[in-house]
Amino acid sequence: DAGITQSPRHKVTETGTPVTLRCHQTENHRYMYWYRQDPGHGLRLIHYSYGVKDTDKGEVSDGYSVSRSKTEDFLLTLESATSSQTSVYFCAITTSLGNEQFFGPGTRLTVL
Amino acid sequence: GENVEQHPSTLSVQEGDSAVIKCTYSDSASNYFPWYKQELGKRPQLIIDIRSNVGEKKDQRIAVTLNKTAKHFSLHITETQPEDSAVYFCAAGYSGNTPLVFGKGTRLSVIA
């Protein structure tokens, strides 16, 4: 599992509330990514990071922010959750050795 | 930006038959093409990948072919088994260290 954990694994929240999802890795990987998965859309990139404090936007970044103050943690924040952000969120890393991307277990977020 | 198209969206095969899933991409600068298998409620799992310096790669019953001139790549599964039933995603990127763009997925059903 490339040492990736995500928390929480499930969350139900209300429209307008802030939400932070955490991705934690234990193997010192430099590159980390947040994707969302929705039926009919596959996986779409939200934000990614290529090192501590180095982040960039992806295809569907509106309404999301990220932070990476430590190598091991990549946080995704929904400042004011909307129903359109109901989705499954996957964190991913790239391994240093093989340059392959592996996914975390996912977080299922429901915004009511 | 990159755009990845994947076909078919659903595929049913008899156990023991072969299955082929095809993807096309738009950005000729893409050099890395992984395939992921996702079972219901689980994370996408990397099953095979190919880089642009090779045309074909095999791993037991799974093979991937790449045609850079035509900008398409395919996944071939031979001697299919019921446990091959899942959703398969293709993706394209500049390298394993860069964000991936995913196809919308193919739901493969292997009928015993």
Report pLDDT digits (tens) over A16-60. Answer: 999 999 999 999 999 999 999 998 888 999 999 999 999 999 999
The two structure tokens encoding residue A80: 């004011």
Confidence of residue A96 (pLDDT cuts 50, 70, 90): confident
DSSP letter assigned to residue B83: G
Q: Which residues of chain B have a pLDDT value below 50?
A: none
Q: Which residues of B touch A35 (CB under 8 A)?
A: 102
Residues B100, A50: C-beta atoms closer than 8 Å: no
Shortest alpha-carbon distance between residue B18 and chain A (Å): 24
Contact B96 A102 (CB under 8 A): no
d(CA B112, CA B34): 28
- Please report residues of B whose CB lies closer than 8 A to that of A31: 97
User: Is A39 touching B (CB cutoff 8 A)?
Assistant: no
Instruction: For chain B, count helices (H), then strands (E).
Output: 0, 11
The SS3 call for residue A83 is helix
